A and B are shown apart, each in its own frame.
Chain A
Amino acid sequence: MFEIVAHPIDAALVSAAVANATTGATVTFIGTTRDHNDGRTVTRLEYEAYREMALAEMRKIGDVATQRWPIAAIAIVHRIGVVPIGEASVVIAVSAAHRAAAFEACHFAIDRLKEVVPIWKKEHFDGGEVWIGSQRGQPFAGGSKAPDG
């Protein structure tokens, strides 16, 4: 299951999609919108995707994970549009006969997703908004430079 959706993600459905009678372990990573980042109070995140390429890159991550670890299945679902505080932007579920492979493959998948999948998040915070990834160093756009400013 590799999907990009514009609605809330049901993590239980994603976990269920990878589990079967042969799997003794399912590891599910849920990434959610945090209310703070880099000294700013975050009010919401907004995601944009290059949909066709993002899905292709997600599938490639799945292929690499399947080649490197003895896993049974992997599912990656990413949400686009506004993702409010506390809600999931991404869910990755990996199943395997045993837990070590499931943990390692899931860790790899989220780390890799954040490196290569063409999806961007725009952070809305008290005082402005900024696309994450484009800055070098300190935040700008009206926010304070002090961590607790």
Chain B
Amino acid sequence: MTVHLRFFASLRERLKASAAERTLPDGATVGELWTALCRERPDLEPLSKSISFAVNREYVERDHRLADGDEVALIPPVSGGA
């Protein structure tokens, strides 16, 4: 299945991209997606505890199972407001 990744803020700068497509095995979880990303980019590993995830614009836990066509946003610690 294919998911559409979105990167923001510090993560967007680090990856030098705001979006990417990724192919995953059917039924892969958000956690498995993150593990795969960290394997390719070991510099992401230290961020593990501070990144949140949203699928189709709703926050999810790492055991959330992805579906084909999902939009997955990697969300660094937010800092809206003044």
Report chain B residues within 8 Å CB of A78.
80-81
Number of residues from A at the complex interface, CB < 8 A: 31
The one of B10, B59, B81, B82 that contacts A134, using a Cβ cutoff of 8 Å: B10
Please tell me if the beta carbons of B50 and A120 are within 8 angstroms of each other in the complex: no
B54 an interface residue at 8 Å Cβ cutoff?
yes
Residues of A within 8 A of B82 (CB): 31-34, 88-90
Indicate which residue in A49, A118, A134 contacts B50 across the interface (CB closer than 8 Å): A134
In chain B, positions 28-72 with a C-beta closer than 8 Å to chain A are: 47, 50, 54, 57-59
Q: Mark B1-43, 1 if CB is under 8 A from A, else 0.
A: 0000010111011000000000000000000000000000000
Chain A contacts for B58, CB-based, 8 A: 53, 56
Given A50-B73, A52-B57, A115:B78 Cβ within 8 A: yes
Size class of B's contact patch? 20 to 34
Contact of A56 among B6, B12, B57, B79 (CB under 8 A): B57
Other A-B contacts than A53-B73, A89-B80, A134-B76, 9 sampled, CB-CB below 8 A, are A32-B82, A50-B54, A56-B57, A78-B81, A89-B81, A116-B78, A117-B80, A122-B9, A133-B77
Distance of A122 Cα from B6 Cα, bound (Å)? 18
Residue of B nearest to A134 (CB): B10
B80–A50 touching, CB < 8 Å: no
Tell me which of A32, A53, A90, A132 contacts B54 (CB under 8 A): A53
CA distance in complex: A114, B59 (Å): 15
B8 proximity list for chain A (CB < 8 A): 48, 50, 118, 120
